[in-house]
Amino acid sequence: MNTGTEPIIWLTIFVLSIFIGVEVISKVSSTLHTPLMSGANAIHGVILIGAILVAGTAQSTPILVLGLVAVILGSINMVGGFVVTDRMLIMFSRPRRALEKPVRRELDQ
Amino acid sequence: MTPAWAQLGYLVAAVCFIVALKGLSSPRTARRGNLIGAAGALLACVIVFLVSDLNHLLPILAAIAAGTAIGVLGAYRVQMTQMPQLVALFNGVGGGAAAIVAIIELTELGTGSAPVFDLIATAFTIVVGSVSFAGSVVTFLKLQELMTTRPVVFRGYPIVYGLGLLAAVGLSVGLVLAPSMLFALLLAAIGVALGVLLVLPVGGADVPIVISLLNAFTGLTVAASGYLLENILLLVAGTLVGSAGTLLTRLMASAMGRSLINILFGALKGGSTLGATTVSDRPVKSSGPADVAILLAYAQRVIIIPGYGLAVAQAQHTLRQLVDLLIERGVQVDYAIHPVAGRMPGHMNVLLAEAQVPYEQLKEMDEIDPEFKQADVALVVGANDVVNPAAETTPGAPIYGMPILHANQARQVVFMKRSMRPGFAGIENELLYEPTTTLLFGDAKDTMGKLLAELKALTV
């Protein structure tokens, strides 16, 4: 476990990461609030890594079962999060018809 | 312990996450950003299997497969209108996973010799992870309208909440001084109770802000688990989401003109029962599709205010055809997008993007609001709270202080509504009774279809 000066190093990484987190999204347009929330949500799905680690080193069956539950939850969070964010963003990046030629109504339905 | 190449791999994954968040902040790079984030996550998963000496590989892989299947299925089957609920659920399971990881890690830390910082991180992760899990479930129930969307407050709430917080602190200290599974499970239970209590007093319209806040909470628990497991990637990724999520929560709250404290605990001050669910029987002016079609066809400037009701009725495609037809006739048409239109900030942009509405027609509130004075018709489709003057005139209203679109300044206001039922915030809308307002009752898709047909008849 962590001993000696190591907690200071972890604290340093923690504090610097806070500033990066604030900095990278400081200029987001309100158009993208929903996908951004969803994308950030997917990123904390890396808890899956932690779940895999504790499940993989489980010493008893109850702990293993609990660990596997965490693995399932973590992968729902991570995979579902990235997939649903992509589904939203495809619609943003899809080429739209320009204002000048708006017709083709008959093909739309 | 972890070999250098694996640490480097984690660093690459962490950079991927930073690039992902950065990319998600701009429409052009958003999709690429998200894919880079996914690649980073995949890389991290591969590394953990390669470097760690893991047992039970088969069950773990099966669990990942099961979780992946559930996640993908959920992500593909969800309607765009139900997006906030799904994000809440995905966030909740993440918080739950973090709490479980911390509980298991406690059994490995053993008793007595474990470092204090590790135990603090454990207690923090268990409490906050449980709060995030339970809070997300309640937000899901509210958004899915499986429970009331109105704020739920009971007498003595502040006392109960205060006691809950004290118990959480006390149990955390207990866990640090004398680590035991009993304390851990009690902490998880208190966390669940606090999570439920946190979301109950929040009104339906404010719930998305809470999702964002809980998202930040989960991020911090992931960071704490990273410290516990000595995994730098978890620490960095969790902290990024924690700080970005906190900032995003504040941005969203300010888009609604509210403080976070007011959103969370405003209902406790009382006075928000305004309007209740009673429907007033004051006279309103209603009209048929034919009249409204004429009104629109001979207007010069039309501003459309879309709301959640539009998307629920799946009428956005028909609306786009209607707008195309009006533009063909030479009418200037724009969509006025309120920052919180829909159920979540930015939600309406997603919903209209789904209907392939050209991006240039979507105008943000600050840009379009001054133009209502010149508009002949403001067409409100399935929106309500975002045009409710009570936000400016009635200090007791739950939406008081939220910036609104001044549809009432247009020469004519046409409301397409299913019924006189109040909006998501549960308050009556004075705009409905204005002399310049005309109501067009009916299901949005149905009425929109009729309106389109009438307009086509006029055009031929």
| Domain annotation covers residue B284 | no
**Which chain A residues contact residue B240 at CB under 8 A?**
17, 20-21, 24, 40, 43
**DSSP tag of B336:** E
A83 touches chain B (CB under 8 A): yes
**What confidence category does residue A107 fall into, taking pLDDT thresholds of 50, 70 and 90?**
very low
Measured between CB atoms, which of B115, B337, B353 is closest to A2? B115
B385 belongs to the catalytic site: yes
Q: Using a CB–CB cutoff of 8 Å, tell me whether B284 touches chain A.
A: no
Q: Are residues B110 and B251 in the same domain?
A: yes
Instruction: Determine the Cα angle at B408 with ends B149 and B287, to 5°.
Output: 85
What was the pLDDT predicted at B209? 87
Q: Which of B18, B43, B77 is the last residue of a domain?
A: B77
Going by the DSSP 8-state scheme, the letter that residue B279 receives in this structure is: P
- Domain co-membership, B374 together with B454: yes
Which of A12, A46, A82, A86 to substitute to test the interface with B, most B CBs within 10 Å?
A46
Domain boundary (B235, B269, B303) is at B269
The answer as to whether B133 is a domain residue is: yes
Q: Cβ–Cβ of A92/B63 closer than 8 Å?
A: no
Position B110 confidence tier, pLDDT thresholds 50, 70, 90: low
**Do B345 and B310 share a structural domain?**
yes
User: Minimal Cα–Cα distance from B140 to chain A, Å?
Assistant: 15
B438: β partners: B414
Q: What tens digit of pLDDT does each residue of B336-357 get?
A: 988 778 777 788 888 888 888 8
> Could you give the angle at the alpha carbon of B352 between the alpha carbons of B349 and B356, nearest 5°?
125
Residues B120 and B237 in one domain: yes
Tokens of B256: 């609604």
Q: Which residues of B touch A45 (CB under 8 A)?
A: 41, 90, 94
Q: Which of A7-11, A30-34, B39-43, B435-439 has the lowest mean pLDDT?
A: A30-34
Residue B439 pairs with which residues in a beta bridge?
Answer: B286, B415
Q: What is the pLDDT of residues B372-403, one digit of tens each?
A: 999 999 999 988 888 888 888 888 777 777 88
In a domain, B280, yes or no: no
Dist. CA B400–CA A8, nearest whole Å: 45
Q: B158 with B39, same domain?
A: no
Residue written as tokens 């250098």? B4
Q: pLDDT band for position A99 (50/70/90)? A: very low
**Based on the domain organization, do B68 and B150 belong to the same domain?**
no
In a domain, B128, yes or no: yes
For chain A, say whether B85 makes contact (Cβ under 8 Å).
Answer: no
Structural domain that includes position B311? 289-459
Q: Quick check: helix, strand or coil at residue B271?
A: coil
Q: What is the pLDDT of residues B13-66, one digit of tens each?
A: 999 999 999 998 888 888 999 999 999 999 999 999 999 889 899 999 999 999
Number of structural domains chain B divides into: 3
On whether any CB of chain A is under 8 Å from the CB of B423, the answer is no
Domain ranges for chain A? 33-93
What phi and psi, each to the nearest 5 degrees, are found at residue B349? -60, -40
Residue B129 has pLDDT above 50, yes or no: yes
Q: What pLDDT does B179 receive?
A: 87
Query: Over the stretch B263-312, which tens digit does the pLDDT of each residue have?
Result: 888 777 654 444 444 455 677 888 888 889 999 989 999 999 998 888 87
Q: How far apart are CA B437 and CA B439, in angstroms?
A: 7
What count of other Cβ atoms lies within 10 Å of the Cβ of residue B460? 4
- Chain mean pLDDT for chain B: 87
Q: Which of A49, A83, A97 sits opposite B75 (nearest CB)?
A: A83
CATH of the domain at B423: 3.40.50.1220
Does B181 map to a domain? Answer: yes
CB distance B301 to B372 below 8 Å? no
- Determine, yes or no, domain membership for B31: yes
Q: Does A9 contact chain B (CB < 8 Å)?
A: no
Comparing B39 with B434, the larger pLDDT belongs to B39
Checking if the pLDDT of B146 tops 60, the result is: yes
* Whole-Å CA distances, A23 to A26, B15, B248, B256, B453: 5, 14, 11, 22, 50
Are B114 and B194 contained in the same domain?
yes
Q: How large a percentage of chain B has pLDDT more than 70?
A: 95
**Catalytic option among B118, B376, B385, B446:** B385
CA distance A65 to chain B (A): 9
Determine contact: B11 vs chain A, CB below 8 A: no
Taking CB atoms and an 8 Å limit, are A37 and B344 in contact across chains? Answer: yes
* Confidence class for position B445, pLDDT limits 50, 70, 90: confident
Under 8 Å CB pairs connecting chains A and B tally to 400
Residue A12 banded pLDDT, cuts 50, 70, 90? very high
Residue A80: which of B97, B128, B138, B142 has the closest Cα? B97
Apex CA B267: angle with CA B384 and CA B250, to 5°? 75
Q: With 50 as the cut, is the pLDDT of residue A102 above it?
A: no
Question: At a CB cut-off of 8 Å and minimum separation 6, what does B5 contact?
Answer: none
Mean pLDDT of B414-418: 86
Indicate yes or no: CB of B93 within 8 angstroms of CB of A74.
yes
Q: How many other C-beta atoms can be found within 10 angstroms of the C-beta atom of residue B42?
A: 15
- Together in a domain, B259 and B302: no
Q: Do residues B18 and B70 both lie within one domain?
A: yes
Pair B89, B65 in one domain: no
Burial label, B113 (beta-carbon count in 10 A; 0-12, 13-18, 19+): exposed
Least confident of A18-22, A30-34, B227-231: A30-34
Among A38-52, B276-290, B293-307, B429-443, the least confident range: B276-290
**CA B101, CA B127: separation in Å to the nearest integer?**
12
Residue B274 lies in a domain: no
- B151 falls within a domain: yes
B261 vs B306 pLDDT, higher one: B306
Which among B108, B225, B358 has the least Cβ separation from residue A98? B358
pTM here is 0.83
- Give yes or no: residues B6 and B92 share one domain: no
Sequence-distant (6+) residues with CB within 8 A of B427 are B274, B275, B385, B388, B390, B397, B398, B399
Whether B106 and B172 share a structural domain: yes
B74 closest CB neighbour out of A27, A80, A96: A80
